[in-house]
């Protein structure tokens, strides 16, 4: 009789735990290399203390150079952490198959541990910092007894930019090291800057036993520190990304007077050669990567329009002396969702995925090339778990399967991504997945109304986090899973820019996902979104009119350029603002905002009241 897989897994896990327990009991404290690896005493002390607590078998300080990466890859190929993909079609590309229970962010196990609960707000899971530390210290005790501990110094943002921030991640996962190398400016240059500044975010990570019952992602914003245990998945384990660049950075940004946002940054160059920049917040897996590297429709390309990619996921917005907001992408790579990426939807992404990429949980074809649903009509032979592909078991690639690749590999990469000053932002767009109600595009009355638009946006959930997919939830500024403090204080911080700055971006809400009665999408999306971006930029330059509605300004149906579209979309429906629908929405928003009563900025209430009255 076949032994059920779960039994094998459990027996295997028990054996593993037993071996680790014995290893812990018999192992001596780590042979700590007493040579100083850094001139920064506080960093050296922290590393020594972690090595001793985790009983790391050895400690490796990452330099980030090619030789180190080659050696790590060789080691992971031997251990099975990485599998080689077809090196003729995909040189230097590898596949990682994660534990099937460890494939997405775990929001219910993610905590913000501020000194008091109100500071974290109803938008976060909270734990008392002392309790959280004790819990995590228990989990980390001896957890690296049979492992190498890697020390990864990294810089979020251009290495020479005053807007960048530094961090050090300690991890026992070579997969994390290889991904951090693609996602951040990692290694010796970052260490040198950390030593000069003496100030950095401390991130401690271990995959533990990958046991979902012993998995926590803890943030201590007041101490600029992160502890993550029990997961190897990107958003839980690559601590520079969501943990540092959003949760900790959003907290840091409030005290320092800037914004850390879940936004793409894109440059649009018009036929006259003038480039303007847009930052866009969309919830996870709602097309930020596609929009960030959009190729304009043929008629636009022929006229001379170009799109430049600065970032696809995170944007740090700093006030400039000229009253404008300047954006930097703190990341150096993409950790993009693979399914749905194709020659039609995102040719730039495909072009950059044929070398130097790590794929996680995709399927493979018979000639060992990476494959995912939506890529093309080849049939994969192995699914994401390495089993013979059987469509009865579901998709071949996991719906949240990913690629990691350096941003510089993107054909539309903008050199401005390396500009230490950042790029000036003309428009901010907030977008969600809404089957009904929200028009294709709508402009806020002013900054305060724009903050309300962002604060009350909602979207259907996706596979990027564990939990039910397709449920509409409020996801303010697409930061629901990522804001490191109370949303009410965060909105107040957003509003404060209105008082401090006189050339703020215009704010818009977009919805590419509105459906007709048969469930089909009303708007073609992808490359055609350029048409909406053009209208947005025209509004920024005062070159076109908009129709006032109670909830924002919308274009007239013929203000969006539809030239060259095969099928003319139903613009009346796409731009409709339903009185009944919005009355219900505002009632729902009021209920949602009640969660924050006591701390909710009065301005938001007033803005909502203006819309309600106008309806
Ligand atoms: C991501 C996410 O990985 O938002 O970017 O989940
Ligand atoms: Mn994201």
Render pLDDT for 217-259 as a digit per residue (tens, 0 to 9).
Answer: 999 999 999 999 999 999 999 999 999 999 999 999 999 999 9
Mean pLDDT of 561-585: 96
- Predicted local confidence at residue 470, as pLDDT: 83
Residue nearest (by alpha carbon) to ligand 1 atom 3: 235
In this structure, whether the domain defined by 10-82+109-256 belongs to CATH 3.40.449.10 is answered with: yes
Contact by Cβ (8 Å): 185, 155: yes
| Closest ligand, as measured to the CA of 236 | 1
Superfamily of domain 334-406: Phosphoenolpyruvate Carboxykinase, domain 2 (2.170.8.10)
pLDDT of 157-199, one tens digit each? 999 999 999 999 999 999 999 999 999 999 999 999 999 999 9
Mean pLDDT of 38-56: 97
Ligand 1 atom with minimal separation from the 283 CA: 4
Question: Does ligand 1 have an atom closer than 6 angstroms to the CB of 482?
Answer: no
CA 285–ligand 1 middle distance (angstroms): 7
Alpha-helical segments (H) within 470-601: 487-500, 529-540, 571-574, 579-594
Task: Evaluate if residue 35 carries a pLDDT over 60.
Answer: yes
pLDDT of 117-140, one tens digit each? 999 999 999 999 999 999 999 999
Question: Does ligand 1 have an atom closer than 6 angstroms to the CB of 335?
Answer: yes
**CA–CA separation, 496 vs 256, rounded Å?**
13
pLDDT band at 33 (very low <50, low <70, confident <90, very high): low
Question: Does ligand 1 have an atom closer than 6 angstroms to the CB of 464?
Answer: yes
Domain boundaries, the chain: 10-82+109-256, 260-332+414-614, 334-406
Ligand 1 atom with minimal separation from the 337 CA: 3
CA 237–ligand 1 middle distance (angstroms): 12
CA 357–ligand 2 middle distance (angstroms): 18
Question: Does ligand 1 have an atom closer than 6 angstroms to the CB of 105?
Answer: yes
Task: Evaluate if residue 580 carries a pLDDT over 90.
Answer: yes
- Predicted local confidence at residue 466, as pLDDT: 85
Question: Does ligand 1 have an atom closer than 6 angstroms to the CB of 55?
Answer: no
Among 93, 286, 410, 483, which one carries the catalytic annotation? 286
Mean pLDDT over each residue of the chain, to the nearest integer:
94
Ligand 1 atom with minimal separation from the 465 CA: 6
- What Rg do the C-alpha atoms of the chain give, in angstroms? 24
* Element at 442 (helix H, strand E): strand 441-443
Q: What is the DSSP letter of 295?
A: P
pLDDT band at 34 (very low <50, low <70, confident <90, very high): low
CA 9–ligand 1 middle distance (angstroms): 28
CATH for the 260-332+414-614 domain, from 1.10.10.10, 3.90.1150.10, 3.40.30.10, 3.90.228.20: 3.90.228.20
286 classed as catalytic: yes
- Predicted local confidence at residue 122, as pLDDT: 98
Mean pLDDT of 548-562: 97
Contact by Cβ (8 Å): 170, 143: no
């Amino acid at each position: 009789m076949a032994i059920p897989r779960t039994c094998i897994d459990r027996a295997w896990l028990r054996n593993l735990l037993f071996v680790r327990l014995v290893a812990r009991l018999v192992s001596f404290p780590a042979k700590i290399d007493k040579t100083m690896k850094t001139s920064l005493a506080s960093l050296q002390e922290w590393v020594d203390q972690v090595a001793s607590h985790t009983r790391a078998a050895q400690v490796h300080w990452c330099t980030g150079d090619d030789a180190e990466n080659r050696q790590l890859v060789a080691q992971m190929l031997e251990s099975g952490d990485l599998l080689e993909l077809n090196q003729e079609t995909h040189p230097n590309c590898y596949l990682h198959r994660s534990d099937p229970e460890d494939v997405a962010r775990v929001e219910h196990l993610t905590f913000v541990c501020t000194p008091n609960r109100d500071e974290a707000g109803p938008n976060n899971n909270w734990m008392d910092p002392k309790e959280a530390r004790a819990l995590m210290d228990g989990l980390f005790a001896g957890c690296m007894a049979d492992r190498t501990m890697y020390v990864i110094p990294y810089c979020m943002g251009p290495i020479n930019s005053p807007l960048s921030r530094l961090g050090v991640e300690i991890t026992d996962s070579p997969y994390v090291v290889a991904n951090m190398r693609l996602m951040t400016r990692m290694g010796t240059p970052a260490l040198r800057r950390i030593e000069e500044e003496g100030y950095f975010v401390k991130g401690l990570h271990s995959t533990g036993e990958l046991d979902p019952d012993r998995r926590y992602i803890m943030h201590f914003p007041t101490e600029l520190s992160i502890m993550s245990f029990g997961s190897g998945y990107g958003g839980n384990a690559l601590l520079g990304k969501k943990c540092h660049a959003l949760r900790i950075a959003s907290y840091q940004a409030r005290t320092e007077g800037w914004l850390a946002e879940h936004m793409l940054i894109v440059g649009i160059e018009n036929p006259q050669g003038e480039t303007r920049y847009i930052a866009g917040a969309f919830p996870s897996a709602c097309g930020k990567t596609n929009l960030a590297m959009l190729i304009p429709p043929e008629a636009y390309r022929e006229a001379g329009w170009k799109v430049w990619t600065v970032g696809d996921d995170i944007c740090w917005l700093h006030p400039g002396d000229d009253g404008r907001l300047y954006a930097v992408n703190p990341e150096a790579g993409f950790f993009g969702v693979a399914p749905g990426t194709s020659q039609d939807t995102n040719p730039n992404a495909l072009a950059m995925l044929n070398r130097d990429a790590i794929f996680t949980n995709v399927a493979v074809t018979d000639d060992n090339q990476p494959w995912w649903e939506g890529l093309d009509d080849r049939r994969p032979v192995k699914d994401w778990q390495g089993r013979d592909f059987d469509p009865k078991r579901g998709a071949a690639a996991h719906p949240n399967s990913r690629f990691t690749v350096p941003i510089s590999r993107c054909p539309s990469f903008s050199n401005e991504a390396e500009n230490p000053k950042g790029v000036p932002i003309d428009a901010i767009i907030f977008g969600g997945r809404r089957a009904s109600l929200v028009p294709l595009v709508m402009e806020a009355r002013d900054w305060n109304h724009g903050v309300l638009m962002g604060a009350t946006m909602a979207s259907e959930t996706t596979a990027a986090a564990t939990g039910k997919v397709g449920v509409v939830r409020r996801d303010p500024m697409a930061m629901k899973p990522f804001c490191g403090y109370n949303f009410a204080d965060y909105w107040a911080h957003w509003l404060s820019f209105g008082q401090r700055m006189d050339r703020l971006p215009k704010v818009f809400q977009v919805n590419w996902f509105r459906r007709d009665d048969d469930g089909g999408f009303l708007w073609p999306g992808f490359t055609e979104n350029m048409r909406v971006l053009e209208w947005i930029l025209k509004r920024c330059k005062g070159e076109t009119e908009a129709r006032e509605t109670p909830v924002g300004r919308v274009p007239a149906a013929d203000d969006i350029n539809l030239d060259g579209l095969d099928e003319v979309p139903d613009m009346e429906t796409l731009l409709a603002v339903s009185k009944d629908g919005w009355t219900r929405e505002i009632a729902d928003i009021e209920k949602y905002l009640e969660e924050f009563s006591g701390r909710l900025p009065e301005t938001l209430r007033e803005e909502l009241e203006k819309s309600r009255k106008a309806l």
